[in-house]
Structure 1
Amino acid sequence: MFVHQVNDEISLRLVDLGDVGELFKLTDESREHLRAWLPWLDRTKTQKDTEEYIKFSKKLYAENKGMNTIVLYKGDMAGVAGFNEIDWDNRIAYIGYWLGEQYTGKGIMTRVAGALTDYAFNGLGMNKVDIRAAEFNIGSRAIPERLGFKQEGRIRSSEFLYDHYVDHIVYGMLKDEWKGYEL
């Protein structure tokens, strides 16, 4: 099983069916916070929905097409982060992430995204890492900006959030630009 120690307080491990209850609870407790920027909250109403997400994630990993991990902060489940997609033909890894509301503002996700970027380049041999965030999701956009990603463009009406479309801002980092990150 994939486990990656980010620093003394943060680690990542593959999502597993044993996480269903705790992951659903974290999602449910942060539902309104997450709903502002994530389109799947209304489709995640029961533990069974979370179980289906985990099964899908495990299938992606088994097929070498993605990797979703649980973010552990001081031993507690804090959120999910990973590669929503791995494009082996073009050597691009697409990072996605979210944190439970009580874990935001601590620098956790910047460290996690930095560790995932480093792993994409040095562990998977990727040439590029892509992070996308809604235009007005300032918190999520700050993460690639802090890590030195370049803003590459905008995808108009990229995602439907319940009753409206949002544009996505695309950030990219190339392997030869990556300087690493500070823990």
Structure 2
Amino acid sequence: MIVNQNTVLELIAQVHAPAIFDIVQHNREHLRQWLGWVDRAQDVQFIENFVAGAQHRHAQGTEYSFVMITDGRVVGRIGLYKLDAANQSAEIGYWIAADQQGRGLVLQSCQRLLQFCFEELGLHRLEIRCGTGNLRSQRIPQLLGFEKEGTLRQAEYLHGAFIDLDVFGLLRQDYLKA
């Protein structure tokens, strides 16, 4: 899936596991702030198992997990999770290497994913959930026209404590108006 002239989204595959692990290794402190699984990712096998799970969920029709590749290098992940065919809804999640922040890659990748979700999959509703303190991540749905719909209190267990999550939603009709 083409994002721009330098960036593509590829469905995650085992061939990506070493590059994903390398990003985790070099960005551990950056990523672990908001991603609880990072501390458990101590070897490539962990990532390979994760990729296998993502591929299984894709085959079941409940997930589309992509790697972001820019200038030929894997720089992060983005995906469509908890795909609910009956309710035509899904949740978007993303992360990127620290040295790639501020370049618009997550925003542009999300824009392409919105197009895929609403125009190709025919979804009705998308959500993005972010830790209330994760201001960088919250900026993405704000820039994409998502509405902040509320806060889920103590909704995620992260590093020994429960944190609140802000929920942002976008409906197909609002996407088409923009």
Whether these two folds match at TM > 0.5 is yes
| Contact 1:128 1:172 (C-alpha < 8 Å) held by counterparts | yes
Q: Which residue of 2 aligns with 1:64?
A: 61
CA distance in 1, matches of 2:50, 2:165: 23
Q: Which of 126, 132, 136 is the equivalent residue of 1:139?
A: 136
CA distance in 2, matches of 1:133, 1:51: 25
Q: Which residue of 1 aligns with 2:13?
A: 16
CA distance in 2, matches of 1:71, 1:157: 30
CA distance in 2, matches of 1:180, 1:164: 40
User: Larger % of helix: which?
Assistant: 2
CA distance in 1, matches of 2:110, 2:153: 24
Taking only aligned residues, the RMSD between alpha carbons, in angstroms, comes to: 1.2
Amino acid at match of 1:160: Y
The yes-or-no answer on 1:97 pairing with 2:97 is no
Q: Which of 43, 59, 68 is the equivalent residue of 2:40?
A: 43
| Contact 1:70 1:78 (C-alpha < 8 Å) held by counterparts | yes
The yes-or-no answer on 1:108 pairing with 2:112 is no
Amino acid at match of 1:43: R
Runs of 5+ unmatched residues, structure 1: none
Structure 1 residue 70, shift from structure 2 partner: 0.5
Q: Which residue of 2 aligns with 1:175?
A: 172
Q: Which residue of 1 aligns with 2:115?
A: 118
Structure 1 residue 134, shift from structure 2 partner: 0.4
TM-score (norm 1): 0.94
Q: Secondary structure of the residue that 2:25 maps to in structure 1?
A: helix
- Identity, in percent, stands at 29
Q: Which of 16, 29, 32 is the equivalent residue of 1:32?
A: 29
Q: Secondary structure of the residue that 1:178 maps to in structure 2?
A: helix
CA distance in 2, matches of 1:180, 1:49: 42
Q: Secondary structure of the residue that 2:61 maps to in structure 1?
A: coil
Runs of 5+ unmatched residues, structure 2: none
CA distance in 2, matches of 1:9, 1:137: 27
TM-score (norm 2): 0.97
The yes-or-no answer on 1:128 pairing with 2:125 is yes
Segments of 4+ moved more than 4 angstroms: none
Amino acid at match of 1:120: C
